[in-house]
Amino acid sequence: MISKNTIDQVYETARVEEVIGDFVGLKKSGTNFKGLSPFTQERSPSFMVSPVKQIWKDFSSGKGGNVVAFLMEHEHFSYPEAIRYLAKKYNVEIEETEQTDAEKEKLNERESMFLVAEHANSYFKETLWEASEGKAIGLTYFKERGFTDETIKKFDLGYSPQEKDAFSKTALKNGFQLDFLEKTGLTIVNESYQVDRFRGRVMFPIKSLSGRVVGFGGRILGDNKKTAKYLNSPESEIYHKSKVLYGIYEAKQSIAKEDVCYLVEGYTDVIQMVQSGVTNVVSSSGTALTELQIRLIQRLTQNIVVLFDGDAAGLRASLRGIDMILAQGMNVKVCSFPEGEDPDSFAKKNSQEAIELFFKENAKDFIQFKASLLLEDAANDPVKKAATIRDIVESISKIPDPIQQEVYVQSCAQQMEISENVLFSALAQLTKKAQSNARKTAPKEESFRVVKNETPQNIALDHTFELERQIITILMLYGDREETFKDSILSFSEDEDILEEITEVKAKVFEKIFLDLQQDEVELANANFKTLFYLLIQHFQVEGQIAIDKLIPTLDGELSSLVSNILMNEDQYQLHDWEKKNIFVKSRDSQVPQLVNETILTLRKLLIDKKIEELQSQVQDKELHHAEILEEVMSYYQLKQVVAKKLNRVI
């Protein structure tokens, strides 16, 4: 168990904007930061981070919370994992009691696999640096590739011994279960034996965006043609090759800072580039680029430069995957190296300045690059040229921005010596076909969704919810403020008419709300709002005020998310810079008494309506005295008129 003292220290030290900035490209927006949602596919940033309140809100998915909630949502950490991650990041020493055997058994399968992968990483590193075989074979290989000690340690490179089960025996001796060694793919288990998957290979650990080891790549050093040169971990609970990029953990901050990502093919391409000073580079690890990998980059930047070696055949084969990047609305450039060079060899021969200059001078827009490359193949063959034009128009059709599409069409028309109208016509046909296919594949019930009329019921339900939400919002934003409220004292005249006397009362906002609800004998219907209401009132009564950044860590996940959502929604809809346009409006916090009165009155009106409905339904019961019920209904109607009149006076 992690001690409460450690948890408190972590919350006090961690900065939400710094932690989230490791995963999402954030830009300053007033007092907050904005970025693209890491949870949904969006092109306009709706992800907000508040350094003042130490919370975040993703308006596209509805998620929100504090720094721990982000790590639990984004990295799928458990609560203790998130605390440990933050403690490590901010050098907070973790105080904890030793786990019992029963507590160790409760570790879930996923966490056990992470622990096995981390142990394997340590074992391979130790073997590389300490064992005679590791130094003679593995370390010698890395040095021959030109990697420095610093680079080898930066990427946690290692070596797996040639003995068939050297790692497996050590892991079992250290208490790791064979079941998890097999599930991570580190050990191949048969009925009569167990074998290390990566025996006799130099090791490249593959890490998640948060730096956790999820899998490995291993390169064999012999010339055995029957054995694959590179071998990756198999798919597992923690490793999905379509979701990870080699080097993303080491490169994430540089990618966000430089606002561009260089994409290469192999492990050594990444390492050599980083060693030369170009640190914003990742690799798809020899597999075809996937949409999930693209979205991983998109969290950090909108700009990708794909680096190819001088092999023209390989280049043409790789062009097909880049259409997916265009479809995500990203800006794609392509840069090919001179004949016989690849990112690894080129970086080894050149300085950082020379490499960056080469990229600047040779990186070309993908559409134009593709056009020039394919037209070169087509030469004077009309049939090939027509096919090439269709291929290029298809790439243009992937771009979601119509303005960009038009610019590319105009540019390609000149380059390919063909009418713009022909290209626009072909583009329109492709777009129409894509829309038709989308309609065909859409679930049939979607077409009839608008016919189903669910609005009346939803409005009634939402009305109460929104009023209760408003009460919690007012308490959090203005609860400790002292304001002057106009209060009503109601009484009955001799003719049984309701009389109203207006008085002015000075009170704290939280006192006014609490007393009004107590007077009406009202409790909030929503369970979460009810819990928050009494928690907030208690804080105000004991401490006089609330520090939101201190309150959120004390709440459970659901309440923490709810509070963050409320606060960030307030920030999203704030008016900015109206004065500069000579438009002067009253700010919300300048009208707090009116806001409180209006909210309480609206809630009262809603409760009166419900009471009238309840009484009217009783009239159908023949055993009850209709006259008495109707008299009570008339009294509530009078009260409703008073409330309605007061609401109409609110300007």
Residues contacting residue 116 through CB under 8 Å, at least 6 positions apart:
171, 176, 180, 181, 184, 186
pLDDT higher than threshold 70 for residue 630: no
State residue 132's pLDDT score: 95
Q: What are phi and psi of 115, to 5 degrees?
A: -65, -40
Q: Which helix (H) or strand (E) holds 347?
A: helix 343-349
The pLDDT, as a whole number, for residue 131 is 95
Specify which residues 507 forms β-bridges with: 483
Among 151-160, 394-403, 415-424, 570-579, the range scoring the smallest mean pLDDT is: 570-579
Of 407 and 201, which is predicted with more confidence?
Answer: 201
Label residue 329 by pLDDT band (50, 70, 90): confident
pTM > 0.75: no
Give the DSSP per-residue string, 519-563.
HTT---SSHHHHHHHHHHHHHHHHHSS--HHHHGGGS-HHHHHHH
CA distance 119 to 129: 16
For 490, residues 6+ apart whose C-beta sits below 8 A from its C-beta are 498, 499, 500, 501, 639, 642
- Segment 469-506, tens digit of pLDDT: 888 888 888 888 888 887 665 555 555 555 556 777 78
Q: What is the SS3 string spanning 194-243?
A: EEECCCCEEEEEEECCCCCEEEEEEEECCCCCCCCCEEECCCCCCCCHHH
Cβ–Cβ under 8 Å, residues 147 and 76: no
Three-state SS annotation for 20-69: HHCCCCCEEECCEEEECCCCCCCCCCCEEEECCCCEEEECCCCCEECHHH
Query: What are the structure tokens assigned to 292, written together?
Result: 């999930």
Residue whose entry in the numeric block shows the structure tokens 């990427």: 155
**What distance in Å separates the CA atoms of residue 135 and residue 123, rounded to the nearest whole number?**
14
**Where does the pLDDT of residue 650 fall: very low under 50, low under 70, confident under 90, or very high at 90 and above?**
very low
pLDDT confidence bin for 578, thresholds 50/70/90 = very low
Least confident range from 137-151, 184-198, 439-453, 626-640: namely: 439-453
